């Protein structure tokens, strides 16, 4: 009898497990409407952390939590005094460099060339006179009519004037030729740098104001006027109202039944009598285990694929994190799918 019991008990356990599995499959199949795939998930949206490009003191914030904003609407601005002064400084330096380039490109004035020529002529006359005096002193010294010191003084004056004449002749030559090509190129490069600096200063002043990058709702007002901010410090958090989607998960056995562009129906506990139109916009290419926060009747250890079902929500009733149920009609064809994309038709 003991041996029979040892054989019968394992058989009974196997039968009970098989019956339980059969009952569970029937229960699950009963939960899923015929021809429909029901999935469970939560509402998800994109969020934008609004911040400034530069460091500065916040002058004004024009919105509060819960305000709906449109694309391009002014949200906040920095104190622009320093940036305005910097822009004026860069503009003045640009004007100065423009004059430098113009002067170099125009070359020497005729008056400057004439003045250099007159200087050379005057020095040439002085050199001729000093040369004549020196020659006379040398002749008189040969006849012992003057001292050697007088001859040396005359020679020194003549050589000094001759050297000065040579220098002025070089100045005249440079005035006639005009500035060097290299100097003009350097001045033009500096001008381009000044132009870029002015553009940068104007952009900094423009960036002292921050605008809404998309339609949405102000979720958090993190900073207040008077506070210092920096590019890595968000001032506001903007929750986008479009697109809104349901983040759900498709069990691996049902993966082949759904495809991108499929129409779907979305319901929530907050508005149980209302159905939202939607469509499958994304199916993950990689599998994962069902997240613990997903209310699904399926076993949590089964492999699933994340799916994003976009919703038509013109009234803004779907909120971040709200539980939702997604129903997909598996009998629709691929010809009918995809018409919901970019057109909710509400």
pLDDT tens across 241-284, in order? 888 999 999 988 888 889 998 999 999 998 888 999 999 999 99
Q: Compute the average pLDDT of residues 160-166.
A: 89
Range of the domain at 73: 48-79+207-236
Indicate the pLDDT class of residue 334, thresholds 50, 70 and 90.
Answer: confident
Nearest to 211 by CA among 79, 48, 56: 48
Query: What pLDDT is recorded for position 296?
Result: 52
Residues 102 and 163 in one domain: yes
Residues 92 and 147 in one domain: yes
Instruction: Count how many domains the chain has.
Output: 2
Q: What pTM value is reported for the model? A: 0.62
Residues 97 and 121 in one domain: yes
Q: Is 199 helix (H, G, I), strand (E, B) or coil?
A: helix
Residues 174 and 73 in one domain: no
CA 32/CA 282 separation, integer angstroms: 22
Sign of dihedral through CA atoms 226, 228, 229, 233? negative
Residues 74 and 128 in one domain: no
Note whether residue 285 is domain-resident.
no
Indicate the pLDDT class of residue 233, thresholds 50, 70 and 90.
Answer: very high
What confidence tens digit (pLDDT) does each residue in 24-39 have? 444 444 455 677 899 9
Residues 220 and 174 in one domain: no
Nearest to 150 by CA among 129, 158, 122: 158
**Lowest mean pLDDT: which of 26-35, 196-205, 214-223?**
26-35
């Amino acid at each position: 009898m003991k041996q029979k019991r040892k054989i019968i008990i394992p058989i009974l356990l196997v039968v009970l497990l098989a019956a339980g599995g059969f009952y569970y499959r029937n229960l699950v199949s009963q939960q899923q409407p015929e021809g429909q795939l029901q999935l469970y998930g939560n509402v998800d949206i994109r969020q934008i952390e609004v911040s400034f490009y530069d460091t500065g003191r916040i002058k004004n914030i024009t919105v509060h939590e819960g305000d709906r904003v449109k694309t391009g609407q002014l949200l906040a601005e920095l104190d622009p005094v320093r940036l305005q002064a910097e822009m004026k400084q860069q503009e003045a330096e640009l004007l100065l460099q423009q004059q430098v380039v113009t002067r170099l490109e125009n070359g020497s004035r005729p008056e400057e060339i004439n003045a250099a020529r007159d200087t050379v002529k005057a020095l040439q006359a002085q050199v001729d006179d000093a040369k004549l005096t020196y020659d006379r002193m040398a002749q008189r010294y040969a006849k012992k009519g003057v001292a050697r010191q007088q001859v040396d003084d005359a020679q020194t004056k003549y050589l000094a004037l001759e050297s000065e004449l040579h220098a002025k002749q070089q100045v005249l030559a440079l005035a006639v030729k005009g500035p060097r090509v290299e100097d003009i190129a350097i001045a033009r490069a500096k001008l381009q740098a000044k132009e870029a600096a002015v553009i940068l200063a104007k952009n900094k002043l423009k960036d002292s104001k921050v605008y809404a990058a998309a339609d949405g709702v102000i979720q958090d007002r993190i900073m207040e006027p008077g506070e210092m901010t920096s590019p890595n410090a968000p001032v506001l958090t903007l929750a986008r109202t479009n697109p809104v989607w349901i983040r759900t998960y498709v069990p691996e056995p049902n993966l082949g039944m759904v495809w991108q562009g499929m129409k779907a129906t979305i319901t929530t506990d907050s508005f149980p009598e209302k159905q939202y139109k939607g469509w499958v916009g994304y199916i993950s290419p990689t599998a994962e285990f069902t997240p613990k926060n997903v209310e699904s009747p399926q076993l949590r250890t089964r492999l699933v694929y994340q799916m994003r079902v976009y919703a038509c929500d013109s009234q803004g009733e779907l909120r971040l994190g709200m539980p939702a149920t997604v129903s997909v009609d598996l009998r629709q064809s691929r010809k009918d799918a995809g018409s919901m994309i970019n057109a909710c038709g509400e």
